[in-house]
Structure 1
Amino acid sequence: MSASAGNKVQTLDTATMVLATMRRRGISGLPRNYELVYEALNASNPRLTRDFEQLGRNPAQEDLDELGKRHFPHHHRTGVVEGAHDRISGELEGMLRLLRQEQSSLESYSKLLGETYSRISSKSASSADILSSVINVLSNATGDTMQKGKIVVEHMVERAREMEQVKLELDEYKRIANTDPLTRLANRRAFDEVLSNIYNDGRKAMYYALIVADIDHFKKFNDTFGHPVGDRVLGVVAAVMKSTLRKDVFISRTGGEEFAVVLEGTSLEVTIEIAERIRRAVEQTPLRNQKTGVDYGPITLSLGLCMASDAESAEELYNKADVALYTAKNSGRNRIHVYNPALNQDFEKNWAIYRG
């Protein structure tokens, strides 16, 4: 490798290194894979880094997902949901048991009424004996049946409340599991779900667009001022994006210093305008220490965008927006680039120097 190529590798930011690793190892460009590779390269978890290295080249997606489940607590959603499913199933079984008991009780009461009617219709007993017997039997049976019915209703209400509590717990779990704790934006898991839903109805896909944004020179903030300032940069970018876009627009932090915006009911022209609005708003937001007055310098974003109509799947849409983002960063940063097929050739050519 030449000296210039070596220098280029050294100046790569984290996002670019993650992409290089994924492409070199044949890892699919799924958002959850980006998170896994990012954390493995970050080396903050030596065990994760070691386990990731042991996967080698071209790891199976099942192995990547299994590694993610082992090292990321929020990947255990399946266990939580299964537990809730078991609780709800238990409550439903209890309800069905109560209903069967109630049905059996009512059938017995109906049978008793039929027998009583037969006795009343019989001409072999005196009227006084019949009425005395009927009143006694029906009084006891009716009282017992009503009491049992009341108990059944109370149990049904109790079980319904329990299932409602399970639902509330699941809703809260989903909210936490789909939220990035630092920026309070949607996280990569939520992004995965939203992106995949775009192509559930092919007719609607043509009205969607994806914008991916990456903070320029983010590593320099961490190295120069420390991770607390880096965290503040992430918080500022998240806040600016939320204030710039409508409340119903989906915004997520998809990993590290990368963010994504999914737009619905949009055109290419409108999407470019929105991306430019985000870029300009971030660039114009100062980053200073309010106590010391230290100016940490400007924050800038590089953005890549792709219309959903230019892709066949969620994975392809993300990859194409990612290519556009790489182009924006490689051509000077702090700018927007729209995906077009011609970018693929330049992208692959530029990555050739990183392949072993």
Structure 2
Amino acid sequence: MTVAPTNKVQSMDTATLVLATMRRRGISGLPRNYELVYEALNASNPTLTKQFDALGRNPAQDDLDALGKKMFPHHFRAGVVEGAHDKISGELDGMLRLLKQEQSSMESYSKLLGEAYNRISSKSMASAEILNNVISVLTNATGDSMEKGKVVVEHMVERAREMEQVKLELDEYKRIANTDPLTRLSNRRAFDDVLANIYNEQRNAMYYALIVADIDHFKKFNDTFGHPVGDRVLGVVAAVMKSTLRKDVFVARTGGEEFAVILQGTSLEITMEIAERLRTAVESTPLRNQKTGVNYGPITLSLGVCMASDAESAEELYNKADVALYTAKHSGRNKSQLYKPELNQDFEKNWAIYKT
């Protein structure tokens, strides 16, 4: 079975096509799966498309993850982290060796002090001879210990600096790995992590909400005006979202023309108000070519909303918000739709026409 869509499916927008393929193939609605299916359907990577086809119906999640890690370089963060771990381990081993050397030096110095005490206590030596002998021994030992101690401190400081540099490199890697290069928003990996954290403590879930948004007729922008305009549409939507939402609100581009917003400490009423605010802000933002004056037409969003208290897990929350989004797009677009249980029946009924 191939991923080539039927004539009916060809007329669908990208988000609906991806969702339709995932439902037909029995693929779980995880954000990382959406990315994989989107890229496979995009056909820009024939090898990915071919290997995705080979997975067939109801592929195992391990097989999907293996293919994703193979095809997407940003999935290889383990190697970077392991390299940093090895470097830090090496620096710590070096510090331990220095400390052991310092301990050995201090033990030797302590031994010399003991010998000096024994000489001072000896009655067989003249007082002047004892003092000269002891002063000489202690002067040499003290000077040697101080010099070694200074070297140890210098080495410890240097290793601490190197470990701080490794930390900075890891922080920068994490920032890049979790950022969408086109919109500068968080990407799907970051979204996955934040979404999963909602249910780390079940009692906190009631204070969260998820909004998924999809650009209406995005394919038309690309087909009519070219991909540079399509990229500009994505940039405009991202900029409007960032300017409309508070700075502490998590917003991400989760794949293609789809975005997600995770709200904390919110109510149903406030969440719907925010969804509508995003929709109207995008709709009212003009998209024109500043040089030629060409108006590319309005950008509109369809949005699906689900409260975290209406789901038991991150996957369920995403799936329910996705069902609400699907309903918004198939009932006219350019609207916000709250998830309700009865939407499942309508979704399955409408979905039946796409089954093969």
Normalising by structure 2, we get a TM-score of 0.97
Q: Find the aligned partners of 2:94 and 2:60 in 1 and give their Cα distance.
A: 42
Q: CA RMSD in A?
A: 1.2
Corresponding residue of 1:309: 309
- 1:122 alignment counterpart: 122
Given that 2:8 and 2:354 are in contact with CA atoms closer than 8 Å, whether structure 1 keeps it comes out as: no
Q: Do the aligned residues in 1 keep the contact of 2:249 with 2:263 (CA within 8 Å)?
A: yes
Alignment-derived partner of residue 220 in structure 1: 220
| AA of the residue aligned to 1:196 | A
Counterpart-to-counterpart distance in 2, 1:242 and 1:196: 22
Partner of 2:274: 274
Offset at 1:348?
1.2
Q: Which whole-Å CA distance do the structure 1 matches of 2:206 and 2:102 have between them?
A: 54
The equivalent of 2:64 in structure 1 is 64
Q: Which residue of 2 aligns with 1:83?
A: 83
1:313 Cα deviation from its structure 2 partner: 0.7
Tell me by how many angstroms 1:9 deviates: 2.4
SS at match of 2:198: helix
- Name the CA distance, whole Å, in 2 between partners of 1:68 and 1:136: 71
Residues 262-307 of structure 1: CA deviation (Å, up to 9, x unaligned):
0000000000000000000111111111111111111000000000
The CA deviation string for residues 219-252 of structure 1, in whole angstroms up to 9 with x for no partner, is 0000011000000000000011111111111110
Aligned-partner Cα distance in 2 for 1:137–1:207: 72
SS of the equivalent of 1:199 reads coil
C-alpha displacement at 1:10, in angstroms?
A: 2.9
What is the CA distance between 1:133 and its match in structure 2? 1.3
Q: Distance in 1 between matches of 2:24 and 2:46?
A: 21
> Contact 2:27–2:33 at 8 Å: present in 1 too?
yes
2: CA distance between counterparts of 1:330 and 1:122?
102
Query: For structure 1, which runs of at least 5 residues remain unmatched after alignment?
Result: 1-5
Identify the residue that residue 264 of structure 2 maps to in structure 1. 264
Specify the alignment match of 2:251 in structure 1.
251
Query: Which amino acid in the other structure matches residue 333 of structure 2?
Result: R
Alignment of 1:97 with 2:97, yes or no, is yes
SS at match of 2:76: helix
Return the alpha-carbon distance in structure 2 between the equivalents of residues 170 and 299 of structure 1: 38
Aligned-partner SS, 1:286: coil
Cα deviation code 1:2-37 (max 9, x no counterpart)? xxxx76423211111111111111111111111111
Aligned equivalents of 1:56 and 1:109: distance in 2?
A: 73
Q: Quick one: which amino acid aligns to residue 275 of structure 2?
A: A
Q: Distance in 1 between matches of 2:297 and 2:266?
A: 34
Distance in 1 (alpha carbons) for counterparts of 2:221 and 2:155: 60
Distance 2:162 2:262 in 1: 37
**Following the alignment from structure 2 to structure 1, what is the Cα–Cα distance between the partners of residues 8 and 62?**
33
Runs of 4+ in 1 over 3 A off after TM superposition: none
1:175 equivalenced with 2:175 (yes/no): yes
- With 51-60 and 144-153 compared, the bigger mean Cα shift is at 51-60
Equivalent runs, 1:119-198 vs 2, <5 Å: 119-198=119-198
Secondary structure (helix, strand or coil) at the match of 2:68 reads helix
Q: Equivalents in 2 of 1:127, 1:26: separation in Å?
A: 95
- Corresponding residue pairs, total: 352
Please report how far the alpha carbon of residue 128 of structure 1 lies from its aligned counterpart in structure 2 after TM superposition: 2.0
Q: Which residue number corresponds to residue 206 of structure 1?
A: 206
Letter of the 1:275 counterpart = A
Whole-angstrom CA distance in 2 between matches of 1:48 and 1:336: 34
Distance (Å, rounded) in 1 between the aligned partners of 2:105 and 2:312: 59
TM-score of the superposed pair, with normalisation by structure 1: 0.97
Map of 1:25 onto structure 2: 25
**Residue equivalent to 2:73:** 73
User: 1:8 and 1:209 mapped to 2: Cα distance?
Assistant: 33
Q: Say whether residues 1:353 and 2:325 are aligned partners.
A: no
CA distance in 2, matches of 1:115, 1:73: 64
Shift of 1:125: 1.7
Name which of structure 1's ranges 266-275 and 9-18 shifts more when overlaid on structure 2: 9-18
Indicate conservation of the 8 Å contact 2:186/2:251, yes or no.
yes
Q: Which residue of 2 aligns with 1:3?
A: none
2:39 maps to a residue whose letter is E
Show CA shifts across 1:52-90 (max 9, x none).
111111112121111111111111111111111111111
For residue 56 of structure 1, give the secondary structure of its aligned residue in structure 2: coil
Equivalent in the alignment of 2:3? none
Partner residue in 2 for 1:234:
234
Q: What amino acid does structure 2 have at the position aligned with 1:156? A: M
Percent of counterpart pairs with the same letter?
Answer: 84
